[in-house]
Structure 1
């Protein structure tokens, strides 16, 4: 997630999946009722079993809804329950499996609040801090090539920030650097609020915190960490961050709908549901549209735009070990307890959340151990869950961001629906 002040981000439970794993913002809104889409295979009938007096009538059972119809119903119920309060109009869901079952893609609502067309199957979204794992993978690939080490200190790569010279790259990626987050600074919020289309540079964003004292070397979510990581990618590769993303990840994985603004195709914004701010920290923008591609404030910490099809393809490659050598894959998955800031080998019911290098492992009470992340910008939320035992990925997206987030609840509902249909199919 992208960490924005004011958001009561849940850090535990299925109710705890978030872009910034600590986030903020405020919301309010108006309700949009969306007509239900006609479900496939809704067939019923009344047949006469006998015509004699006293003859019985047999009612043919209504076939069970397909899994797609059930999931569409889940989305529509969530939209009806939360769309007004959280001022969103659009929902997308994608489920992919590791076996031969076809992917499931479901949408609900309309592309803008109070109007617009239906949400297209290829809708694109601001993915927020799902971007962080891309940044981590770039650095881990560079490490595998001997161009840097996660033990390297900032004094080597970014000497312009002497106060942080002893912070390591690994501490940036694991959120244990102690460097404050620029998204929590009033000056940044005022500048963004004055003009959401402002073109920020990484240096300007870091300037909001470079004068602040360094905190303790313990887990604390900070978007500044990943801006600095982006700068190191560029220093070590002698190339732009956007070009490295394209050459090392986007092109090899065939991610046709993934881009870092402003390096996006001209039609990208037209495929994006309108983002809405309900953040009390942006008082002049509450319940108002934000620029779909106005993401220079997030960059390597949360600036990517993508479709859920691309995102689930990326997640399967990320967690399936297709992008990194074994040693770097282990580093990616090394965990810091978000509760104690200690290194942990795995998560447990008593210590359920572990932060890796731009990824989070969670001991889910129903689903078991999963990887997840919820990325939040100031106008979108995108959450994914990866199930290591089955290889299934669930990804959901919505076109607003909130202080009291319930999107993890929807992900939990989707998981229950999928489990129920799997159990029915096996019976």
Structure 2
């Protein structure tokens, strides 16, 4: 379902992840990257409902970098090709913005990530002991609003409606008529990041969108990245690829024997003009592959926040046990940090995140041992079992190695 999972490791071939980079010239590498993109699109377009794909490859700081595109921005012969100006929804990869805003506010002394929801948002008394850290590392136990019938009805019946953060939280807050199951350990819930955004607004004394602009977009020169808590203006949506919802899966809070998804009326719909207010701090940003790559390289190189906050940012909990872990092991190979994910493969480790939202997917992978960061974006959200976007990141990384 939208913005529910970040997992890509299951379809990343560990044999292709690591190894020496090719000594061939950049133009040869660029040709191989382009071929990897073309091959993926030819194989997956019909299966995954996509029409185009973009990729940006960073081979260290300050470069060189490789940019590649394939396909068109939508169905129909008149659809223009995907290019440098094409934008895609970032989905949950923009959770890194929320983590950065919180950590920068902490560095300014405005809050602590060990503060509680009760301190900043006392009206949510049922969650008063949950810390900001638990919101960001998905160990709060708070249910996920984006799996509720409320949000599905909003997508289907009122796609242009601008929802508030309070409305999103209310969809899962315990009441006499709403008793969704709490969880223990690690549990992916977008509600965590809506609450984190609300806390950031109180601590930073301005709207979350302004915090993103002032602390992230402008300082880092992300001129093709946009964040709105409501509907985007035409100057942004006109640059976006058309986004197609192709996911037939039932929502998490539908009955176990669910025969038909609440979201069935969305199948095949172009969501480009729909309001993204339902995502907000949990995944509402729009960008291109170049900006995503530049931003994430700055994050992983420790250039965004001071060292204390960087250590907090990269601190992990096990996605298996929900307990803090220092290192990854074959028995416990995946850790969730603060809006970041790290995975252990047989030959090394990599950081990644796959953001999936209505009609779009954005995936970045930082192969830290090679210092290669790859971002790929495409314009559909299919069922999880046919999502093979990670395959193209693997193929691009292989294309950079000696043949």
Q: Same fold (TM over 0.5)?
A: yes
Shift of 1:213: 4.9
Other-structure match for 2:226: 259
In the other structure, the counterpart of 1:111 is 73
1:17-36 Cα distance to aligned partner (Å, 9 max, x none):
xxxxxxxxxxxxxxxxxxxx
Question: Match for residue 371 of structure 2?
Answer: 391
Return the alpha-carbon distance in structure 2 between the equivalents of residues 410 and 195 of structure 1: 34
Q: Which structure has the greater CA radius of gyration?
A: 1
Shift of 1:187: 2.0
- Alignment correspondent of 1:369: 349
Q: Is 1:409 equivalent to 2:398 in the alignment?
A: no
Is this contact kept in 2: 1:278–1:401, CA < 8 A? yes
Q: 2:133 aligns with which of 140, 150, 170?
A: 170
Query: Residues 324-352 of structure 1: CA distance to partner in whole angstroms, max 9, x if unpaired?
Result: 11111011000011112121112223221
1:151 to 2:114 alignment: yes
Pick closer, same or farther for the CA change 1:213–1:84 going to 2, 3 Å: closer
Secondary structure of 1:85's aligned partner: helix
Map of 2:30 onto structure 1:
68
TM-score by length of 2: 0.87
Contact 1:137 1:324 in 2 (8 A): yes
Summarize the Cα distance change of 1:387–1:271 in structure 2 as closer, same or farther, 3 Å threshold: same
Aligned equivalents of 1:2, 1:312: Cα separation in 2:
22
| Structure with larger RCO (C-alpha < 8 A, sep 6+) | 2
In structure 2, stretches of 5+ residues that fail to align are 14-24, 249-260
Aligned: 1:321 with 2:294: no
Preserved CA contact (<8 Å) 1:87 1:113: no
TM-score, structure 1 length as denominator? Answer: 0.82
2:104 to 124, 129, 141: 141
Distance 1:292 1:349, change over 3 A: farther
Structure 1 residue 321: deviation in Å? Answer: 0.7
CA gap of 1:122–1:381, structure 2 versus 1, over 3 A, is same
Deviation digits for residues 257-278 of structure 1 (CA, Å, limit 9, x no counterpart): 1111358664222221100011
Distance 1:326 1:229, change over 3 A: same
Tell me whether 383-392 or 355-364 shows the greater mean CA deviation: 383-392
Q: Number of residue pairs matched?
A: 371
Q: Structure 1: which 5+ runs fail to align?
A: 17-62
2 CA distance for matches of 1:210 and 1:265? 31
Contact 2:8/2:390 (8 A) holds in 1: no
